[in-house]
Amino acid sequence: MQKPTKLWQKNTETSPEVEAFTVGNDRDLDLLLAPYDILGSIAHAMMLGKVGLLDESETRTLCAELRNIYHDSENNGFVIDDGVEDVHSQVENLLTERLGETGKRIHTGRSRNDQVLLDLKLFSRAGMKEIVQNSQVLFDQLINLSETYKEYLLPGYTHFQAAMPSSLGLWFGAYAESLVDDLTVLQAAYKVTNRNPLGSGAGFGSSLPLDREYTSQLLGFDSPNYNVVYAQMTRGKTERLVSAALASIASTLGRMSADVCLYMSQNFGFISFPDHLTTGSSIMPHKKNPDVFELIRARCNKLQALPNELALICANLPSGYHRDMQQIKESYLPAFEVLNSCLRMMNFMLQSIEVKKDILDDPKYKFIFSVEAVNALVNEGVPFRDAYKQVGAQIADGSFDKPESDLLKTHTHLGSIGNLGNNEIRKLMDQTIKSFDFEKVESALKALIKA
């Protein structure tokens, strides 16, 4: 049996130049989508059986073979044959080759448009789950470091000028809470993603009696995208919203990496890492370069450009499908692994961080205690502006002395050096992660692929 190479092919041959330009590297990227295309096909076949467009035997046979193909994809045994355009064609070709006429029925009531929409949503949903898991690991690491080093003081900076006393507890905890907000943004993107476009066809529905609520249930979606025209319009929009959430996490990682690069330098010297986690110079034997953090910073900066890139691709498109959307996949699909690798590497490096104690004993940090001196006068009843002028005069005439105070005892309000608020931050993270409800999706997909 001769296999068709394209689902849309008729009796004319496409110019090789046109084919090469339009397909691009879609086939390679589609391998990332293969498990999700197969899951969608299983749900679609079950729905076709439910509404009577397949008989019981056809439904059972199709689903069994799709599960075989799914297990191949999970074990790196799925390939897109030479000359086959995309993952959708490969799956249908395999079914037709193995099941004959029954295999040809899988595309009933479906378009490549709603297939790729579905694949991208399932891929994004799984990718966000992994990002949440890696973010949670990093969050726990940051909170633990915050507690471990809460008594280790360091200077806080504004305008790159030593400003006020801070602590490593505050520094680590700040990035932990930043991740909470990042995952809140991701949770909103997840809710937008977790709606089912399958059954919208080419974007205008079908005259066949499709049960879109049923496929939504089988695939663990919260609901369908109800309006079929809007379902098609979510192509590009969903990816842009998800990429904005990925960019939020990337911003946190990039900013922390910038701090680490500064704090490792000899001018600061607040933290260090073992030699085997840094790199050297080809001519300077003393160098310990923070290459890992510089690359995290650069890759995360690149991720922060992604939402704008996707917005521009879709900026002047009317409703309906347009081939422009294909360009989104090239930047969007790899972004998940880039961010996950940065999260994993940040966590790996922080496991070995070495911190310096008694940083603020250095005389050059004497003046960052000026606010402590002002506040001490305020506590004695001196109006703040008068206290400010009094301490300012002492600094100007050289008579200012660092006040003797235990900052862990004087900074008592929530979120300060002596009261980090880490328990409250943990509660926020727990609530945020719980709101994703990954268990519902996992349960639905497990039921879908069971033999």
- Give me the CATH number covering residue 279: 1.20.200.10
Taking alpha carbons only, the member of 112, 140, 119, 142 closest to residue 38 is: 119
**Residue 208 pLDDT:** 97
Token representation of residue 352: 């070995």
Residues 212 and 237 in one domain: yes
The owner of tokens 């498990």 is 35
Is 233 part of a structural domain of the chain? yes
Identify the residue whose tokens are 């507690």: 147
Q: Note whether residue 417 is domain-resident.
A: no
187 with 251, same domain: the answer is yes
**How far apart (Å, rounded) are the C-alpha atoms in residues 314 and 374?**
55
Assess whether 303 and 369 both reside in one domain: no
- Strands of 244-330 (E only): list them: 271-272
Enumerate residues 6+ apart whose C-beta is below 8 A from 206: 109, 199
* Residue 419 lies inside a defined structural domain of this protein: no
Burial group, residue 172, by CB count within 10 angstroms (0-12, 13-18, 19+): buried
Same domain for 183 and 54, yes or no, is no
- 382 contacts: CB under 8 Å, gap ≥ 6: 390
- At 124, list the tokens: 């994004």
- Residues 97, 218, single domain; the answer is no
Per-residue pLDDT of the chain (451 residues; tens, 9 = 90+): 444 555 545 556 666 666 565 656 777 889 999 999 999 999 999 999 999 999 999 999 999 999 999 999 988 889 999 888 899 999 999 999 999 999 999 999 999 999 999 999 999 999 999 999 999 999 999 999 999 999 999 999 999 999 999 999 999 999 999 999 999 999 999 999 999 999 999 999 999 999 999 999 999 999 999 999 999 999 999 999 999 999 999 999 999 999 999 999 999 999 999 989 888 666 676 778 899 999 999 999 999 999 999 999 999 889 988 888 888 999 999 999 999 999 999 999 999 999 999 999 999 999 999 999 999 999 999 999 999 999 999 999 999 999 888 999 999 999 999 999 999 999 999 999 999 999 999 999 999 998 5
Q: What is the pLDDT of residue 398?
A: 95
Q: Are 234 and 339 contained in the same domain?
A: yes
DSSP state of 110: -
| 85/125 same-domain check | no
Tokens found for residue 445: 């997909």
Please check whether residue 127 lies inside any domain of the structure: yes
AA identity, residue 446:
K
**131 φ/ψ angles, rounded to the nearest 5 degrees:** -65, -40
Residues 185 and 58 in one domain: no
Choosing from 326, 343, 359, the residue where a domain stops is: 359
Half-sphere exposure of 256 (CA within 13 A, CB side): 29
Beta bridge partners of 161: 158
Domain holding 47, by residue range, is 16-108
pLDDT tens across 306-355, in order?
999 999 999 988 998 888 888 899 999 999 999 999 999 999 999 999 99
Q: What is the dihedral of CA 217, 223, 225, 227, to 10 degrees?
A: 100
Domain shared by 34 and 97, yes or no: yes
The answer on 98 and 117 residing in a single domain is no
Distance CA 85, CA 72 (A): 19
Question: What pLDDT is stored for residue 6 in this prediction?
Answer: 57
CA angle 82, 88, 94 (to 5 degrees): 65
Residues 256 and 143 placed together within one structural domain of the fold: yes
Closest alpha carbon to 121 in 216, 49, 256, 204: 216
Structure tokens of 190? Answer: 């997840």
Predicted pLDDT of residue 13: 67
Instruction: Enter the tokens of residue 180.
Output: 């909470």
Asked if the structure places residue 283 within a domain, the reply is: yes
- Residues 213 and 345 reside in one and the same domain: yes
**Domain CATH for 61:** 1.10.275.10
The number of distinct structural domains making up the chain is 3
Surface-to-core class of residue 338, CB atoms within 10 Å of its CB (0-12 exposed, 13-18 middle, 19+ buried)? middle
What is the Cα–Cα distance from 408 to 417, expressed in whole angstroms? 6
- 263 bridge partner residues: none
- Round to the nearest angstrom and report the end-to-end CA distance of the chain: 28
Decide if 451 is inside a domain.
Answer: no
Task: Give CA–CA dist 40/106, Å, rounded.
Answer: 11
> Which residues does 290 contact at the CB level (< 8 Å), separation at least 6?
260, 261, 264, 273, 278
- Three-class DSSP category at 155: strand
